[in-house]
Amino acid sequence: MQLLLRGITRADAPPPRLTFDGLAHVEAASLRAFASCIEARTALGRGELLEHHRIVHELHWRTRACLPVRFPTWLDSEAAVRTSLEHREPELGAALERIRDRAVLALTVVAAALDEREPTRGGPGTRYLRQRATTLSRAEALAAALRERAGDEVLDISQSIMPRSGVLVSIAVLVNMDRADAVAEHLRNAAPDGEDVRILVNGPWPPYTFAVVPAREG
C-alpha cells in the first residue's frame, strides 16, 4: 500500500468527515496528515490532479488551515508519514498559522488582441526581440497597476511575468477566506483603462503559493 499525501492540518480538533475514496489520516505531535491509500504508485494525470485539488480544497475550508502538500508526494507507510511530521513540526506549525483563514485568488492576464505596437522593421530576429521587449514592458506595467489596484484586502502577492505563451502576467494574491469573493469581483474589473486584456480570476483556492516551509539545513 502506498500513501499519496494531500494536506496537513492541526490535530487539535476532530478530523472532518470527508467522503473521498481511500482517504486516511495519520497524526503525529500536534499535526495531522491526510493521504490517499493506493495499492501501488501509478501514473497520474488530469483526473488525479483535480482530485488532489478537491481534497485539499475541502480540507482547507473545513478546518480553516490546511497546508497543501506538493503534488504528487508519495510515502511508503504511515510510519514514514509520522516521521516526516515529527521531523518538521515547528516549521509546519508556523506555516499553518500563516495561512489560517486565508485563501488564494489566481489572476491570469491574457492579451485580448495582438499588440498594435508590434515592430515592423528589421529582420525576424530583431523583430522578435523588439516584440518581446515591448510585451515584457507592457506586462510589467500591468502587474504594477494590478498590485496598486488590489487594495488593502490583499495580504500578500506573488507574481510571474510572461510565464507562458499568451499570458502576460500571472498573479497570486493572498486574501481573507471570508472576503475572497468580494475581492475577486473587484479584481475582475481592475484592468487599467486602454489595456485590451482579459483578467481571469480563479479561486478562491487553498493557499498553494504561500504554503512555504523553509528547507532545514543539515
Residues that bind another protein (CB under 8 A): 5, 8, 41, 43-46, 49-50, 52-54, 57-58, 61, 67-76, 80, 83-84, 87-88, 92, 95, 104, 106, 108, 110, 120, 163-167, 170, 172, 180-181, 198, 200, 202-205, 208-209, 211-213, 215-216
Angle at 174 between CA 47 and CA 103, to 5 degrees: 50
Sequence-ordered list of residues with C-beta below 8 angstroms from that of 83, at least 6 positions apart, any chain: 28
Residue 15, phi then psi, degrees to nearest 5: -65, 145
Q: Going by DSSP bridges, is the β-strand pair 102-111/31-38 parallel, antiparallel, or unpaired?
A: unpaired
What count of Cα atoms within 13 Å lies in the side-chain half-sphere of residue 136? Answer: 6
Q: What is the rounded CA–CA span in Å between residue 207 and residue 131?
A: 34
Q: Going by DSSP bridges, is the β-strand pair 102-111/197-205 parallel, antiparallel, or unpaired?
A: antiparallel
Answer whether 95's CB lies under 8 Å from 206's CB.
Answer: no
Answer whether 105's CB lies under 8 Å from 59's CB.
Answer: no
209: nearest Cα among 142, 161, 157, 145 = 157
Answer whether 179's CB lies under 8 Å from 203's CB.
Answer: no
CB of 135 to another protein, least distance (A): 16
Q: What is the rounded CA–CA span in Å between residue 103 and residue 89?
A: 22
